[in-house]
């Protein structure tokens, strides 16, 4: 498989769809994921193991994981809110499990109904569950530090608390932490500063990725700031769909198509083919009639003479 410089992790099937009133049929989700993989996308967060009563959009995650696991070379990621969700994810065969640990405790109580102490206990239990699996069935375990740059419910978030929770998450057994701008508060200077602080506390190998929202139009600027200092994984959502249903106003992930163009235009490799990406986008638009999708690059087209690296 071709070596890449930046891993663009597609989160649309989870973060994108969870915020929509419309429920995408399982067969359509599976076809969309197949088209993403055919375009060269290497990691897809295909769903979330949460109760269907909370997010009916995610009720078919086990079925979607089963399909995604048949696609050669695709890393199948899922989000879980607790140990029970992790048990279901392990049973389904997910390659990667992420759990949100909101730095804003108010958001944590709203999002997963648990305090910091309770979430750290869940993280420890999940780490034990994973360690007990045979090596070939052991998923990678990441803790996403949600609201790391600010919170619509609490306002500013302490950077020292972000760092402390990163350390505690690693001590509890997570392989890695990620920084999430759940509410679109971040700016490039803040991104650079906070990434470096977490690196100093847990080591560079324990923080490789960021999850950024474009709520205030800063998404690509923040992604560039992160990549400039050495971050190698950036989450994005096709068409910019998504947000957090438990954080008012947190609309809009980074548009996958625009992020891929940014990275490739700088001469870095994503391994993603634009023609294939646009086929996946067109399919998504047809599968979600009436849902607005975004993106400058698909609207404007690629510059004359532009080629994927």
- Quote the pLDDT of residue 202: 98
User: pLDDT band at residue 250, thresholds of 50, 70 and 90?
Assistant: very low
Compute the distance between CA of residue 46 and CA of residue 174 in angstroms, rounded to an integer. 21
Q: Residue 274 pLDDT > 80, yes or no?
A: yes
Is position 151 annotated as part of the catalytic site? no
Q: Residue 309 pLDDT > 80, yes or no?
A: no
Q: Quick one: tokens of 117?
A: 């102490």
Of the two residues 215 and 33, the one the predictor is more confident about is 33
**Average pLDDT score, the chain:** 94
- Quote the pLDDT of residue 285: 96
> What is the CATH T-level fold of the domain 7-300, as seen in this structure?
TIM Barrel (3.20.20)
Q: Residue 251 pLDDT > 50, yes or no?
A: yes
The model carries a pTM of 0.95
Residue 16 contacts residue 241 (beta carbons within 8 Å): yes
Sign of CA dihedral 241, 43, 34, 64: negative
Q: Quick one: tokens of 297?
A: 């690059």
User: pLDDT band at residue 260, thresholds of 50, 70 and 90?
Assistant: very high
pLDDT in tens, 150-198: 998 888 999 999 999 999 999 999 999 999 998 889 999 999 999 999 9
Q: Residue 205 pLDDT > 90, yes or no?
A: yes
| Percentage of residues in the chain having pLDDT higher than 90 | 83
User: pLDDT band at residue 92, thresholds of 50, 70 and 90?
Assistant: very high
- Quote the pLDDT of residue 50: 94
User: pLDDT band at residue 111, thresholds of 50, 70 and 90?
Assistant: confident
Which position among 244, 259, 260, 284 bears the catalytic label? 244
Instruction: Strands of 20-157 (E only): list them.
Output: 43-48, 75-79, 96-100, 140-145
Compute the distance between CA of residue 172 and CA of residue 154 in angstroms, rounded to an integer. 26
- Quote the pLDDT of residue 2: 82
Lowest average pLDDT, out of 55-59, 76-80, 132-136, 245-249, goes to 245-249
Q: Residue 307 pLDDT > 90, yes or no?
A: no
């Amino acid at each position: 498989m071709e070596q890449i410089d930046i891993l663009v992790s597609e989160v649309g099937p989870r973060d994108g769809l969870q915020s929509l009133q419309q429920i995408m049929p399982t067969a359509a989700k599976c076809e969309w994921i197949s088209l993403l993989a055919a375009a060269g996308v290497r990691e897809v967060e295909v769903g979330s193991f949460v109760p269907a009563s909370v997010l009916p959009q995610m009720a078919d995650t086990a079925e979607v994981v089963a399909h995604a696991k048949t696609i050669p070379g695709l890393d199948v990621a899922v989000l879980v809110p607790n140990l029970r969700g992790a048990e279901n994810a392990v049973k389904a065969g997910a390659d990667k499990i992420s759990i949100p640990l909101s730095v804003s405790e108010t958001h944590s109580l709203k999002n997963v109904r648990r305090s910091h102490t309770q979430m750290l206990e869940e993280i420890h239990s999940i780490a034990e569950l994973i360690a007990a699996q045979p090596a070939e069935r052991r998923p990678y375990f990441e803790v996403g530090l949600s609201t790391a740059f600010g919170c619509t419910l609490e306002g500013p978030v302490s950077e020292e608390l972000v760092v402390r929770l990163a350390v505690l998450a690693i001590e509890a057994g997570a392989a890695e932490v990620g920084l999430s701008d759940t509410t679109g508060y971040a700016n490039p200077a803040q991104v650079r500063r906070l990434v470096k602080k977490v690196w100093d506390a847990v080591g560079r190998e324990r923080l490789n990725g960021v999850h950024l929202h474009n709520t205030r139009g800063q998404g690509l600027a923040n992604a560039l700031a992160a990549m400039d200092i050495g971050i190698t994984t950036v989450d994005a959502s096709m068409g910019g769909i998504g947000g957090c249903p438990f954080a008012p106003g947190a609309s809009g992930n980074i548009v996958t198509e625009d992020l891929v163009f940014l990275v490739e235009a700088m001469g870095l490799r994503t391994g993603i083919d634009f023609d294939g990406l646009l086929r996946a986008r067109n399919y998504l638009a047809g599968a979600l009639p009436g849902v607005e999708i975004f993106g400058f690059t698909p609207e404007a087209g690629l510059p004359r003479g532009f080629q994927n690296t």
